[in-house]
Amino acid sequence: MDAPSTSSSRTPPPAPPPPKPSLAQRTKLSLLHWIDYDPQVVDAAPVSDRIKRAVRGTSPAKAAGAYLHRLFPFTNWILHYNLRWLLGDLIAGITVGLVLVPQAMSYARIATLPLEYGLYSSFVGVMIYALFATSKDVTIGPVAVMSLEVARVISHVQSSSGGAIYSAPEIATALAFLCGLIVLGVGLLRIGWLIEFIPSPAISAFMTGSALNIAVGQFPALMGYSSKLNTRAETYKVIINSLRHLPDTKLDAAFGLSGLAFLYIVRYALQQTERRARNPIVKRIAFFALTLRTAFVIVILTVASWAFLRHKDPKHFPIAVLKDVPSGFKHMGQPKLPTDLLSKIAPQLPVSTIILLLEHIAIAKSFGRVNNYKIDPNQELIAIGVSNLVGTVFNAYPATGSFSRSAIKAKAGVRTPLAGWFTGVCVVVALYALTSAFYWIPSAALSAVIIHAVLDLIASPKQVYAFWKVSPLEAVIFFIAVLVSVFATIEIGIYTSVGASVALLLFRIARPRGAFLGRVKIRPDVQTPPSRDEQEEGTSSGTLSPYPRLPGRDVYLPLLPDGVRNPLVQVEAPPPGVIVFRFEESFLYPNAAYYADMIVEHAHKHTRPGDQLDNVRAGDRPWNNPGPFPWRKRKAASTPEEQAALDKPILRAVVFDMSSCSNIDTTSVQNLVDLKRTLERYAGDQVQFHFATILSPFIKRALLAGGFGTGKGWSGPERPLEIAPVVQAGMEPVMTEHAKRLQRMHFQRRFFPGSPLPGTPQKLADEKEDGNVREAREEGEGVRHEDLEAALGQVEQQGMHLGGSVWGHEVPGQEEPNLEQPVLSTSFPRFHLDLTSAVSAAVGRDDW
């Protein structure tokens, strides 16, 4: 009987067939193949990871709570309020209130409004702003520049068709409503960063132009003949007409000029006292006297006016006074906002909103830096918006931050934004208790206060020269904007300064400075002392080795003298055929073609084409390079310039320093792809692209998507290298003959180093070749086809990223880098951590 078979002798069951992919899986794979999905590119910078980091640890409820908490910043400090804070806020608030009352009436006069409307705007601004502010120093209320803009809007609306039916207060209140609504929306949406596109010189330009316009417009009132000319005309016309009417000067000039002289003399004397005094009490007294000089001059001139006019007929006063000012909030109530009025104001909103935003944010940031706290620009916009919206109930006109009053408030020792409430109390007291005294205030006195206040807004020569020292182009924009404001209008001046600044920004982005770099080898003079063992060894042998020098490093600087002013620093150019280029701006669609043209021009200037067309027939030459005319006699290169052109190397590699490039986009990657093709056609061979110091994984992802650093084209089908094609036919991958030739050369070097390469001396090549390789070379292949296929299969198993390097100086028979052969790095990811490594990889040696 046969023995039963053991389990070990049984035939193993066949492996189950792999599960057939489902319809959903097949559809997914087909879709990924159709859109050319590449995990190597996507995994370089996954978008999902960035989204997860952005929302990590934040739930919708917590985010909403944090957002609401930021809307009311007073909740962060109100529960900590104490007596010392109260004392500082009380002193600062009352001090600002004494300054604000005369200024508010003066600025209402600039806005062509009844004087009480300036007080309405002052009260609402300081009271509401305290609840939403992130700055303790800023004071909200009427300001000179915004008042001038309100007057311009009132004049525009009333002169338009059907606009005469609206009074000046109605127009001003409607303007406050629209500006407040816009600014509040900008703050709530957290897009206040948009105002950062307007630079400081542009802000200073329209502030200077506005101050000149206001001062010139108040001069006729100071002299008493404002009724004889149009003070709302262009600034240069007002200057000419004011000088023409000087003989018409009235007695008002005695009050106006004396008040203006008093303000400047007292300011100079008290500033010198405050600066030189060593006693802190004297300094404090000088500061408060300096601060209250405006209120003091108004009181003195009002008393003088009362004494001079009290027995005269009000209809024939020899000087102009304010006369009746209504007490209390007589005009408080629901604002009138007809649609027709809002539509007439709408075209004027851009300038009004810009003024409302810029002046306040600039002031808040300045005091935040000086007093060591950080403001929230978006929250400040919310505070301005709410203040102006609530102000419409009091028939207030647009209010924003005041630099002069904020400076007074800061120096007076303010502790919290609650000081604004004490300022508001001062305004209310003035509205109810002092309106009878306002009757006798001379109009010339208010003009003196206005001129004294706005002249400080004019940029000083020192500030203007600072613009010139830092950026001459911005200084030119400043002068142009001021001249336009003087000879045209403030509105056109603002548009000119902002438009010119934006144009300069776009020009700098579209025409950036790129630098072609060379190397400077730095060797420190400091030497390290020998160790104790080295000292003992040197002492026993009678020789003590010198201190070894510390290792040096390579620094890459521009080849042109623009970046190197020291004549002792010699910048060494890269080896022939290698270009090192540094981006100095982000590589984006406005400047992509400009950067590419710079590199192509440099390559044409310092290298020669790989394919010489001198001996090609005219009919075989490309149309864009037809060569010389056929009837001209061809001359041999005889001049040194022509011979030098023939001696130039062939371009082999371009190294990009990405340390200043923070962003890259689709158009720039496509331009980079086109640049590589252009340079390879020019060189007649492969041109390596190396990238150093990439700042963002998304930049690496974009470069991988363009085919850079993937290795494809060597061990697989060449990438289409079309990111944004106009003609879709170029999207299909193709393995060109050029790519096949480079692929064969690469694997011949890596896997068959004994085989000869182009440029290798024939005698040395014959000695190194074995029989099989020599037979294959004689057939024109250089390497047997089956061996190459086996090598390709091995590469596919290893993956795309190969290790090791084959440098140009390792070519058989070449002691130095072979300039006529491509210097190949088989490390396909051409991304390097530092510029030195990238240049070494491109050159083929760690040291040139």
* Beta strands 688-692 and 831-832, pairing class: parallel
**Residue 699 predicted with pLDDT over 80:** yes
Distance of CA 591 to the CA centre of its chain: 16
At 11, is the pLDDT very low, low, confident or very high (cuts 50, 70, 90)? low
Q: Who has greater pLDDT, 50 or 635?
A: 50
pLDDT at residue number 797: 45
Strands (E), 116-170: 139-141
CATH 3.30.750.24, the chain: domain bounds = 578-611+642-843
CA–CA gap between residue 789 and residue 795 (Å, rounded): 10
pLDDT at residue number 256: 93
CA angle 410–414–416, rounded 5-degree value? 120
pLDDT at residue number 169: 94
**Residue 790 predicted with pLDDT over 50:** yes
Q: What is each CA distance from 288 to 227, 427, 477, in whole angstroms? A: 37, 19, 39
Instruction: Specify whether the CB–CB gap between 514 and 486 falls below 8 A.
Output: no
Average of per-residue pLDDT across 144-149? 91
pLDDT at residue number 178: 95
Strand-pairing partners, residue 555, are 520
Average of per-residue pLDDT across 340-346? 94
pLDDT at residue number 245: 92
Strand-pairing partners, residue 295, are none
Q: How many CB atoms lie within 10 A of CB 644?
A: 11
645 Ramachandran zone, left/alpha/beta (phi>0; psi -120 to 50): alpha
Average of per-residue pLDDT across 19-25? 81
**Residue 713 predicted with pLDDT over 60:** no
For the segment 236-257, what is each residue's pLDDT rounded down to a tens digit? 999 999 999 999 999 999 999 9
Q: What are phi and psi of 811, to 5 degrees?
A: -65, 135
Average of per-residue pLDDT across 265-289? 91
CA–CA gap between residue 93 and residue 98 (Å, rounded): 9
**Residue 719 predicted with pLDDT over 80:** no
CA–CA gap between residue 713 and residue 684 (Å, rounded): 17
CA–CA gap between residue 568 and residue 392 (Å, rounded): 69
At 731, is the pLDDT very low, low, confident or very high (cuts 50, 70, 90)? very low
At 37, is the pLDDT very low, low, confident or very high (cuts 50, 70, 90)? confident
At 832, is the pLDDT very low, low, confident or very high (cuts 50, 70, 90)? confident
Instruction: Specify burial of residue 75 (Cβ count, 10 A radius: 0-12, 13-18, 19+).
Output: exposed
Tell which residue, 20, 384, 347, has the closest CA to residue 180. Answer: 384
For 503-557, the DSSP string reads: HHHHHHHHS---EEEEEEEE--S-BPPPPHHHHHHHHHHT--PPPPBPP-EEEEE
Q: Which two tokens stand for residue 206?
A: 């329209």
CA–CA gap between residue 132 and residue 417 (Å, rounded): 9
**Residue 381 predicted with pLDDT over 90:** yes
At 760, is the pLDDT very low, low, confident or very high (cuts 50, 70, 90)? very low
Instruction: Specify whether the CB–CB gap between 599 and 654 falls below 8 A.
Output: yes
Residue carrying structure tokens 């630079």 = 199
Reduced to 3 states (helix: H, G, I; strand: E, B; else coil), residue 174 is helix
For the segment 421-464, what is each residue's pLDDT rounded down to a tens digit? 999 999 999 999 999 999 999 999 999 999 998 898 899 999 99
Instruction: Specify whether the CB–CB gap between 267 and 293 falls below 8 A.
Output: yes
Sign of CA dihedral 204, 209, 213, 216: positive
Q: Who has greater pLDDT, 681 or 728?
A: 681
**Residue 38 predicted with pLDDT over 50:** yes
Burial 29-52 (b: 16+ CB within 10 A, else e): eeeeeeeeebebbeebbeeeeeee
Distance of CA 423 to the CA centre of its chain: 38
Average of per-residue pLDDT across 375-391? 93
Q: Which two tokens stand for residue 801?
A: 């990223």
Sign of CA dihedral 518, 524, 525, 528: negative
Average of per-residue pLDDT across 671-677? 89
DSSP code of residue 33: H
At 562, is the pLDDT very low, low, confident or very high (cuts 50, 70, 90)? low
pLDDT at residue number 482: 94
CA–CA gap between residue 54 and residue 699 (Å, rounded): 19
For the segment 522-542, what is each residue's pLDDT rounded down to a tens digit? 876 655 565 566 555 555 555
**Residue 301 predicted with pLDDT over 80:** yes
pLDDT at residue number 789: 56
Q: Who has greater pLDDT, 801 or 20?
A: 20
pLDDT at residue number 184: 94
CA–CA gap between residue 455 and residue 210 (Å, rounded): 10
pLDDT at residue number 814: 43
Write the CATH number of the domain with boundaries 578-611+642-843: 3.30.750.24
Mean pLDDT of the chain: 80
What is the end-to-end Cα distance of the chain in Å, rounded? Answer: 85
**Residue 762 predicted with pLDDT over 50:** no
**Residue 191 predicted with pLDDT over 90:** no
For 136-199, the DSSP string reads: SS-EEE--HHHHHHHHHHHHHHHHSTTGGGS-HHHHHHHHHHHHHHHHHHHHHTT-GGGGGGS-
Q: Which two tokens stand for residue 559?
A: 């080849």
Average of per-residue pLDDT across 572-598? 92
At 484, is the pLDDT very low, low, confident or very high (cuts 50, 70, 90)? very high
Instruction: Specify burial of residue 768 (Cβ count, 10 A radius: 0-12, 13-18, 19+).
Output: middle
Q: What are phi and psi of 123, to 5 degrees?
A: -65, -50
pLDDT at residue number 549: 52
pLDDT at residue number 830: 74
Instruction: Specify whether the CB–CB gap between 575 and 848 falls below 8 A.
Output: yes
Instruction: Specify whether the CB–CB gap between 757 and 745 falls below 8 A.
Output: yes
Q: How many helices (H) and strands (E) does the chain have?
A: 33, 8
pLDDT at residue number 825: 38
**Residue 9 predicted with pLDDT over 60:** no
pLDDT at residue number 302: 94
Q: Which two tokens stand for residue 164?
A: 């005469």
Average of per-residue pLDDT across 669-697? 87
**Residue 822 predicted with pLDDT over 50:** no
Q: Who has greater pLDDT, 752 or 46?
A: 46
Sign of CA dihedral 263, 269, 272, 277: negative
For the segment 606-637, what is each residue's pLDDT rounded down to a tens digit? 998 876 655 556 565 666 666 666 666 555 55
pLDDT at residue number 775: 44
Reduced to 3 states (helix: H, G, I; strand: E, B; else coil), residue 653 is strand
Lowest-confidence segment of 577-581, 582-586, 648-652, 785-789 by average pLDDT: 785-789
pLDDT at residue number 404: 86
